[in-house]
Amino acid sequence: MEVHERLRETDPGARARRGELKDRVRQSIDSGVATQTTGELITIQTVVHVVYRTDEENISDEQVTSQIEVLNRDFRATNEDRGAVPEVWQGLIADASIEFELTTEDPEGNSTNGITRTETERESFGTEGNPVKYAEAGGIPSWPTDRYLNMWVCNLEGGLLGYAQFPGMPAETDGVVILHTAFGTTGTAQEPYNLGRTATHEIGHFLNLFHIWGDSDDCSGTDEVPDTPGAQGPNTGRPDFPHVSCNNAPNGDMFVNYMDYSDDAAMFMFTAGQVLRMNATLAAARAELAGLG
């Protein structure tokens, strides 16, 4: 959210574009257009940019593939651990009908495995200025963001697991960035972020989902999704059910939701309302990427 707010302040048209998208998403949901696209399988062409200084940071193809597999399970609600969702929310688990595929064709039409590798002299990357997305800053530029979901994997500084860009922001920096030790399920992935859920969470933002507590610590925030209970703030670790805040008894916070901050082994679901919001966004700001435009 810090990155998002910085972009809103530095990009003159960002606030207007986000406001327009908010209206379009609401209209799409209210009119039923979003419901019409729900259930139609959408495959998003994906490129993973591995930016590394050490051999460890130069993660394997296998680690990249493991992350794509997690995304496809999580967004299709076929993850085996969804059974750990408390019974009161089992009926809200929803299949987003979104899949991710490492692209086989680069922007020039050449064959590719969907993975680029860029050696850098930087020990780590921060968020200000999006340095990992610029060659002159030690990173690599995005592939056309209307054709590909760009994912950068690198060594992030400040204890950050990852960050994403919401739709409606500058095209050249569009995509998600993930710490290499929080990416995929093998290789350098480390507990408690070794089940690939950081990327699931960040792509949720990329598809216009907010944190379930609405980024407020006084119970006044909203994620603009009606079927996720309000919460006072983020949950971490592996909370016990129920964890009550903001007068949300008896079931409490939906800490099993991918848009909370729980450990990878404690988050298992998107709700039907979140799926509807993602579908409405795909039909609007990300229509070309989704093959709907």
Residues 203-245: pLDDT tens digits? 999 999 999 999 999 999 999 999 999 999 999 999 999 999 9
- Strand 176-179 with 149-154, pairing: parallel
Q: Where are the domains of the chain?
A: 2-282
- Taking the C-alpha atoms of residue 269 and residue 200, their distance in angstroms, rounded to an integer, is 10
- Taking the C-alpha atoms of residue 290 and residue 253, their distance in angstroms, rounded to an integer, is 32
Cα of 235 vs its chain's centroid, Å: 17
Q: What is the pLDDT of residue 144?
A: 98
Q: Report the share of the chain in percent with pLDDT over 90.
A: 84
As a dihedral over the C-alpha atoms of residue 237, residue 1, residue 281, residue 251, rounded to 10 degrees, the angle is: 30
Q: What is the pLDDT of residue 17?
A: 87
> Which CATH fold topology does 2-282 show?
Collagenase (Catalytic Domain) (3.40.390)
- Given a cut of 70, the residues of the chain with pLDDT beneath it are 7-8, 12, 36-39, 293
Tell me whether residue 202 is one of the annotated catalytic residues.
yes
Q: What is the pLDDT of residue 37?
A: 63
Whether the upstream peptide bond of residue 192 has omega within 30° of 0, thus cis, is yes
Q: What is the pLDDT of residue 60?
A: 98
Inter-axis angle of helices 14-31 and 2-10, to 10 degrees? 120
With a CB cutoff of 8 Å and minimum separation 6, the contacts of 264 are: 192, 193, 194, 195, 196, 197, 198
Output the six-digit token pair for 69: 């597999």
Q: Is 111 left (phi over 0), alpha (psi -120 to 50) or beta?
A: beta
Q: What is the pLDDT of residue 290?
A: 92
Catalytic residue selected from 101, 105, 191, 202: 202
